[in-house]
Structure 1
Amino acid sequence: MVSPLAHDDPQAIGPYTLVARLGSGGMGTVYLGRSAKGRTVALKTVHEHFAAQTEFRTRFRLEADAARIIGGQYGAEVIDADSLAPTPWLATEYVLGPPLDEAVVFCGVLPESAARVLGAALCDALAQLHRSGVVHRDLKPSNILLTALGPKVIDFGIARAAGDDRLTRTGSTAGTPAYMSPEQAIGGEHTAAGDVFALSAVLAFTVSGSPPFGSGQPADLLYRVRYADPDLSGVPDGLRPVLARGLAKDPEQRPDTTEFRTLLHDGGGDFAEHLPDAVLADIARRSAAVWEIQPSRLPVPAEEFTTPTSASQRPRVSRRALFALGGGVLAAGGAAGAWGLLAPDDDTAGPARKEPSRRTPGGAPRLVWKATVESEGIGDTVALPVGDDLALVAEGRLLCVDARTGERRAESELVDYPQTVLSDGERLFALDDRNHLVPVDFGTGSFQTPLARLDGLDGLDALETRLVIAIGRSLVLEGKTGKGWVRFAVDSRTGKEVWRRRMPTPADTFDELTATPVGSSYLRTQGESVSRIDARTGATRWSVRVPKKNTGGLSGGRRHAVSSDHLFLGAEELLALRLSDGKITWRFGKGRKFGKDYDASADHYGPPVFKDDVVYTTERNNGLIALDSRSGRLLWEEDKDAAVSLSFAANSTVSGRYFYVSPDNDAQWIAAIDLRTHRVAWTFQSPLGDRGGTTPTIMTLPQAKRLIVVRGTGVCALPLDA
């Protein structure tokens, strides 16, 4: 996804003028650049704080070497590189084709014939690497680009010589969990057989639209990779046994690339002949569009804040590293680091500055502060309000900030996953390495004296323990013991157990869990299970099954939309469930028209939002709609003439005169739709480039008068209109 340059991006790198951003992540940034003679290249750089580390400079040099080994036929041709520059950089050809993951999402799954030819070509690419003694270690759909002449493998950031563990920290795991081999998941040696495992997982995704071990939190994925059978139900019958061999747990049972190629290839013809028309059209569009891209740069924010990055802290051992995954700690290619919070760039005495306008020329509010929370994994940052402050939680990172100003309160590496951190609105709690429930000092980020010791609770499995919700003084937890699953509550003041109850074993323990308070009870959804639990006693008031096609599986981070008497869910249809018994009162969506270019299997509705007897939601190809919460009657629809494409994974919100939603692109983070005119009033451009993520979140903090936006690893705050 091409996006404008940030205001502080350099004008040029080496001999190449920067034109746009292609992406940014925890390790570095990739730019679109042009040479003096007009050649278009992709320029990969390493973040400054990593460039200062000898280990990462060595990794960067090895990445360039691996890219040269695979060459221009099977990879992006290396044009130039400088691993000794103050900021190391690598220039490769700009491949005119979509990443495989985008092709599947936007054009649909590939037919079996295309997947077989793709797999055979990737076997040739991997074989070329393996012959030189190099393994890729991070083969996944986003690292495979589709061109009319064949696939190209990119991103060799964690590739290394087979058997060389010198750049892998003891006990660490590098790679992408959904496509890791079992041996890689426990930090063991990743050989050429590991690349075959990853390729098999990639091909399963290509023909089914889902990785064979599902999705979810990294620890859950790694567990499934090691112990669960792959889900190949969506794979065509003829291809299923081939991929099953490649996904064997024992690397000795997997075919090598030569045998795998023979099993896959089922005929000749050019690669392009096997690709669907939609993919070929996308390749053609990208080939033409690259010449239309003109240099652009985001303006300097009117109120910019900057605070130096804190020094590296002592590495810690994660509590989840102690369990059955063999001590593996997931690391996204590397180590520590950081956050990028911004604070006043000029605090010297002098004449008062003229107060800048609170709005940009386009009508959007001006940025107040922004932050980047770089985690050890791949999940989204979670924002938890704590009084007038905000806790930003990612895997292995906690950042405590003043929600109004963005001033840093504390930074910590003690937390593990967002599911192990909980706010009761005023205080922050976490589970530590020993499975103790501990208060967190918001001023220092340190763990205080344990409130409750859970390690002796019927053999409670720390890997399966999670903080669910805080209601009043009760902190509700769930976990797996030697006698089955339990739900229990702990008093947040005394640490004493309030109640404990057996609970049904979740149908899929890896499905995301969402909980929302409703009076003295709470709503709990996980997968297809929807329940109402009494927070005073732990008793289940009611529990119903709602098919995933109507809940969207309630993916991670989604919030419940609740009125005084109904719960609203949305995916294929919109449903209203009575809070008294869970029965459906009304449903909406049957007979609606979504346009001719839509995927019938995709969600038709985004997460609903409730306010003042109105249910708001995004409807595919139609934009924002508003329904009467009591009857499900359509009240109005967004003006399509001014509409923008909206994200269906986003957590939206409504406040004052606006419905705030996330556009379906990386360049814009918010679209504000006026509830009176039903038109987009303004959009807010990303202040941090592409920060990735799967579930954008927008939330309001009325006391701090801030609108908070979370996208992947990036967080920013805007003034909240009344």
Structure 2
Amino acid sequence: MSVGPVHLLAGRYQIQGALGRGGMGTVWHAWDTELDRAVAIKELRLSDDIPEEERRNWYARMEREARAAARLKHPGIVTIYDRVVEEDGRPWIVMELIRGSSLDDLLRRHGRLPAERVAAIGLQMLDALIAAHATGIVHRDVKPANVLLEGDRVVLTDFGISTLEGDAPLTRSGALLGTPSFMSPEQVHGGPATAQSDLWSLGATLYTAVEGHPPFSGATPGSVFVAIATEQPDPTHHAGPLVAVLDGLLRKDPTIRLTAQATRDKLTHLAAAQGTNQPSIGCSSETDTGPPPSGVPLRRGPRTLRTLPAVGLVVALAGISAALAIWLQSPPSPVQNRFPRLAWLSDSEAGWGSGLALSPDGTTLAVGTRTGVEFWDVATRRKLGDTVEISGAHRVDELVYSPDGKKLAVLNYGLGGRQLHLWDAVSRKPDGPALMSGGEILGLAFSPDSRAISVTNTERSWTELWAVASRRPVGIPVKTEPLAVSVTFLDPGGKLFVSDGPEVWDTTTGRKHRRQLPITPCSSGGSPAALAPDGQTVVMTSFQERRLCFYSTKTYTQIGLTREVLEEAKMGPVAFSRDGAILASGGKTVRLWNTRTFEQIGPDLTPVETESVSRDGDRVAITPDGNVLISLTSAGVEFWDISSAG
């Protein structure tokens, strides 16, 4: 359908004239005859030779834009009024008319902007993005052409390639949508766009505004992609106080990228320096008093001609053509980025130790430091109070919650050797003096009924069982040969446990149990790792720490064996999901395993890169709902979204 200057869309919107055109569509100025107001209408125009499937994808993408923007009510986001579908099936979007130009136009006319002015623009852009992210919408194409300036108001537009939670992908596997110079490294690598990706694009936009050119450039889209993935941004020369914000937002690893709140704090401080006497960042708005005559292009008075650009570009059109799929020569493996990193708690001021424990209800995370224990709220990832200090401690090596969640075992190393404390988990404070001290204390584990705790002490060369309530030894000490360095209970009462070997011991007799686990790759030095929630499977790490062995506690036979990992990627402690279907293994590389097929699920999860050397045996935990994996590395505590692993 051709659109003339007098066309009446949906019997209501009088099309008056084009405001701008792009390769895939046109934005029209129109008059809403029912509500007597000026509006902007976006029309999608596709070539007749486009395949029907691709045509449907474009229609679906425009429908998505309407739904995405319609969910958002924020002064920094263009308001969607209506969606119209004509007889030929093409969607039209009726939206708020913005009396101003884009940031891209402003930069083309006047060049780079002062840092304080850019900070003010960035602050309003960020607020709009925060509002979108709060409703589950990721923009995916933040750039100067999609930033509109109307007086002192900054408006984010063109959600045409945005993603909404629950929406199916609209492109083929391996395709990238967005504008090359403003795409985040994770998007360039083929990963999903997230809120952190929008923050990277915000950083690239602000860099462009203050420096007059994008942070990465190249002769072709491919060369731009290579630069984004492998190079650092061009040095800034005019950013001034904005440098810290740009450096923080343009970090390639999204987990260490500046957060939205931290960015907002910095931009608020910088924007305050602008004061109230700075010129407006856009053009002043005006109110329409009625529709122009039919068939006559929109006219403005002399005042408008002096303040508005020649072509209003009410809605940035570059996003329409820029939404074309851009293919990389070597699409990434479909398993890459399957489990996105949700958060990263950087190194504590007190310095991390080796201990990590998740409360049974999944609400609280205990993390060992060099001087004590920190507690974190899992949902908000905020620290709960101050670090609880341990007198004389040099490092907290291990933390274990009792299954009932009432006690926390804290094993730390100090001047007098290792000490084992039992803490009240509710008050998060020590509960009496040290249970044991001196020598090497190892093999720490609560019995499934929470009534007993096993402790192995090299000074005494045996493993003991202690009653939690009375804080006294119970049963007969077990002298394991060789000395057990880790213990896993096999029965609810804590009478049977499996130690290194693997060997099964009975604390009531102090001798080996009559039934023993078979000789396997995990024998002779393998460390007992964990008991499945149903008590029917115990998993152990091989002597070389390069594979996992699964045993049946009913038949005392090996039932599974994982593949062997590389020598430099040894496996450490493991943790089951609440339903027992997934097993996480720690170490220098974090992995997920299917406990039924014994195959790895998805790719390796690589910890945050730091200058420090990662320890062997890094701890892991899985939240009760099975959706989040938590790992402790030398860099800090990482949260991974593993909801798609089930």
Superposition TM-score, scaled by structure 1 size? 0.38
Larger radius of gyration: 2
